[in-house]
Structure 1
Amino acid sequence: MPVFLSIVMPAYNEEAVIEDVVVLWTNLLTAHFPTETTRLIVVNDGSKDKTGAILDQIAPKYPQLMVVHQPNGGHGNAVVNAYRQAIALDSMYVFQTDSDDQFVTADFDKLWAKRAESPFILGHREVRFDAPARLIITRILRLSIALIYGTYIKDSNIPFRLIRGSYLKRLLAQLPTPTPFAPNIFLAVMAKKAGNNLFDIPITHKERLTGEVSILRWKLLKVCIQSFRELAQFRLDLGKKVAALRQPEPVLN
């Protein structure tokens, strides 16, 4: 049976908050879609703490919860794996968020309300609670995208996005291999260049109260340089990638 909506999230070392986040999003699924088949797909990216064990322990309590364990491959790898799991379930809609409890479920409605107007909808963190270095890198990447691709996206890597399942399948087919460090940027760029209105809907971003940021200081600079190189290389293939995406998507209710 096809799944109406899959919420997907990567998880890494979030033992202090993972159960709370699962409760929040499964409650949303139950409240909003009581008669539909829905899933919350959590990909445990080789966590070194008790995240994986907690997910396995609570899974029987939450019928919508689907737990996937993988060796540590990084956030982007886990996101793509989660997307592919959702596509394998023939999900009509796929919503991606993070497991660190920095977003509020109420903002889901803002994106959901636009689902008939675009197959790819982004939020953007109007006020962002992240380390100063991360904020600087975000601005650099935003300018890089504008320079390389001639397009402006407020928050291209945001883990708060709603994508029509059929369109996500087409996007993933155009994603470069091996998986880039920040695949969500590539998906957003392709969707925007293919002519979609991403809406860039302002959403709430909360201060991180648990866990730890895995990429800081020089490692952050290193991955920023890596992402810039990947984006520049992808520019050579963007034209044919976008051409494959320009066929109109069917309008869904």
Structure 2
Amino acid sequence: MPAYNEEECMADVVKIWSDLLDTEFAGENTRLIVVNDGSKDNTGKILDSLKPQYPKLEVVHQVNGGHGNAVVHAYRKAVELDAEYIFQTDSDDQFIPEDVKKLWDKRTQSDFILGYRQIRHDDIFRLLITRILRYSMFFVYGTFIMDSNIPFRLIKGTFLKKLLSQLPNPVPFAPNIFLAIMAKKSGQELFNIPIVHKERATGEVSIQKMKLLKVCWQSFKELLNFRLELNNKIKNLK
């Protein structure tokens, strides 16, 4: 879970996801890894203050590197801990933990499972960009993924380790898209399971309107370049 300037909801988010681990995965050796991506508010202090209350909470602080960078940092931390399964979500309190079971029930059928925001509560501009990206991916890769960048995904640890080794360097702006493409192209059934997406009640999205358009163009160029390497990347996953 990456976190950036989420002081208003951070304590609640840690509680609801920690409660999920304690109730649905009682007795299992689980961790909640939160990467504080150089927050300028009190997010980092709040996370540190919560550690005594939640022994499964692992807090990682890093210089601000962006959402994708923080996600990859969290993935690598999970792989270092030799996690059998890794679930990734965001810290903005727009998902409900109970939906994890929908993905968990499919874990023996695929190493890489995605949720899908069937009703997505974001502004019109962001929804339009997402739709453009979806069809751009189909144009570039011949691959249709309903919600390739969704921060609601379950990945088998051994498979994630292989995927991370094939990510471009430096880390692309939206690494979750690249991971989804590689997983799909390698033959994994992503399922695209409908999950609940709530309206954001606190804070604000860090990338808006023209800045969002700029980074989407950046992502599209990164995807085009990656197309030339994809076949070799997929071979390396075998």
TM tier, smaller: over 0.9
Q: 1:179 offset after TM fit, Å?
A: 0.2
User: What residue in structure 2 maps to residue 154 of structure 1?
Assistant: 146
CA distance in structure 1 between the aligned counterparts of 2:150 and 2:205, rounded to whole angstroms: 16
Name the amino acid aligned to 1:107: D
User: Which of 54, 60, 64 is equivalent to 2:56?
Assistant: 64
User: What residue in structure 1 maps to residue 94 of structure 2?
Assistant: 102
Structure 2 counterpart SS, 1:44: strand
- Post-superposition CA distance 1:194-248 (Å, at most 9, x none): 0110000000000001011110111011001000000000000000101112x3x
| Corresponding position: 1:92 with 2:79 | no
CA distance in structure 1 between the aligned counterparts of 2:28 and 2:198, rounded to whole angstroms: 30
| Corresponding position: 1:183 with 2:169 | no
User: What residue in structure 2 maps to residue 195 of structure 1?
Assistant: 187
User: What residue in structure 2 maps to residue 127 of structure 1?
Assistant: 119
User: What residue in structure 1 maps to residue 44 of structure 2?
Assistant: 52
Structure 2 counterpart SS, 1:175: coil
TM-score by length of structure 1 reads 0.93
TM-score by length of structure 2 reads 0.99
CA distance in structure 2 between the aligned counterparts of 1:196 and 1:92, rounded to whole angstroms: 17
Name the amino acid aligned to 1:173: S
CA distance in structure 2 between the aligned counterparts of 1:233 and 1:80, rounded to whole angstroms: 20
**Percent identity (aligned):** 66
Taking the TM superposition and a 5 Å limit, the aligned residue runs for 1:6-85 are 9-85=1-77
Structure 2 counterpart SS, 1:187: helix
CA distance in structure 2 between the aligned counterparts of 1:217 and 1:231, rounded to whole angstroms: 21
Structure 2 counterpart SS, 1:49: coil
Residues matched between the structures, number: 238
Q: 1:131 offset after TM fit, Å?
A: 1.2
Unaligned runs of 5+ in 1: 1-8, 248-253
Q: 1:36 offset after TM fit, Å?
A: 1.1
CA distance in structure 1 between the aligned counterparts of 2:28 and 2:208, rounded to whole angstroms: 41
